[in-house]
Amino acid sequence: MYPPNTKSSTGTTSAAPRTIAVAITGVGLVGSEFVSQLLSVSQPNPFRVVSLSSSKHTLFSPDGLDISKDSWKDRLASAPHRNPEDLANDLASLVRPGQDVVFVDNTSNENVAGLYPTLLASGVNVITPNKKAFSGESALYNRILQASLDSGAKFLNESTVGAGLPIISTLKDLVVTGDKIKKIEGVFSGTMSYIFNNFSTSQPTGPSFSSVVKLAREKGYTEPHPADDLTGSDVSRKLTILTRYIPSLRPALPLPNGFLSVPTTSLIPSALSPLTTPEKLSSAEAAEEFVSRLEEFDGEFETMRGEALKEGKVLRYVGVVDVEKGEVKADLQRYPLTHPFATSLGGSDNIVLFHTERYSPRPLIIQGAGAGAAVTAMGVLSDLFKLV
């Protein structure tokens, strides 16, 4: 903790610097990396960790936890369980002049996301890579907006779209400075990027679709059940989030059901749909069967690849927000071999093109790693520094 006051170089006493009390929930891959990065912030560190919580354990101290990179996991593992609602009340009690409080949600839990309006209404800021609240039903999103406006507490969610890439902040800057957004198009899924960068190239032949999906899974680029990625829902969630930051689109595209309102092309063969029900998505056996049976449909994907190449194009799974047409969609599209989506992408990169009144005819392009614990945690930490 900071001392009650500090002395300047002239010997005079000044008020203590503002501190930020940080409560962190979710300590999986991203959460653990975030804690590590936060504890590495150089001194003086304005952040004081007051809570660490998982689904089963919670550490809480209003005066700040005495933790280190080597100790926090063992301490958390022996801590008692605490309801998220009770923690929200405790955090609200810490809000006071000179001390901001921020709730960092590193989970993908829908119930935790549902607490955002309550936290914001009490003056607690919210930072998260959790897409659920910002891509779900408009009723929850509107409650988040209203709570933030009423209390002045902020919600920051840069990492919900491009991990550490400055996609949301760039869109906010374009909008607030008066630029006119014409269209946003991009490869928003690291998984889909890897799959089609390897499956559809300028070469007349290439690996089968199922083999590329299988390799992507082995490399850890897909969810445990690849159908989670192949539905395209991750892309439609990100499109929903971006759409809601464009004021001119809200009346035309209210998206009442969030990402479910976005036209989305699924790459799952209909015959394999029984293996992709909510129950099956959590089944390791169903995932194995899905991957093994996917090769039955390689011919269909081979045909699509061949037809695209005849036109001098490649296949890319993209998300498009066309403001001028009032359309948003996630779809498998064909792009010329000279297009940035064909020439610039590698590995599991994301790439986003902003076509605006100012950035025309050449769009503003943002490209880089759009997935991974290190860059996602960096995006979360970057949002945290915006409160300083």
The residues carrying an active-site annotation are 238
Instruction: Answer whether 379's CB lies under 8 Å from 33's CB.
Output: no
CA distance 211 to 217: 10
Q: Which residues are annotated as a binding site for L-homoserine?
A: 223
Binding-site annotation: residue ranges: 26-31, 107, 131, 223
Kindly list the distances between the CA atom of residue 62 and the CA atoms of 52, 55, 93, 124, 141, in Å, as whole numbers in the listed order. 12, 20, 9, 14, 29
Q: How far is CA 58 from CA 27, 29, 72, 153, in A?
A: 11, 17, 11, 24
Strand partners, 322: 183, 327
Query: Helix, strand, or coil here: 89?
Result: helix
Which helix or strand (DSSP H or E) is residue 216 part of? helix 209-218
Which helix (H) or strand (E) segment holds residue 237: the answer is helix 233-243
- CA separation for the pair 174, 351 (Å, rounded): 17
Phi, psi of 234 (to 5 degrees): -60, -40
Beta strand 5-7 pairing with 47-53? unpaired
d(CA 193, CA 346): 8
**What is the bridge-based pairing of β-strands 349-356 and 181-187?**
antiparallel
Query: Is residue 262 within 8 Å of residue 172, measured between CB atoms?
Result: no
Query: Residue 174 carries which side chain, given as an amino acid letter?
Result: L
Q: Mark the binding-site residues for NADP(+), compressed into ranges.
A: 26-31
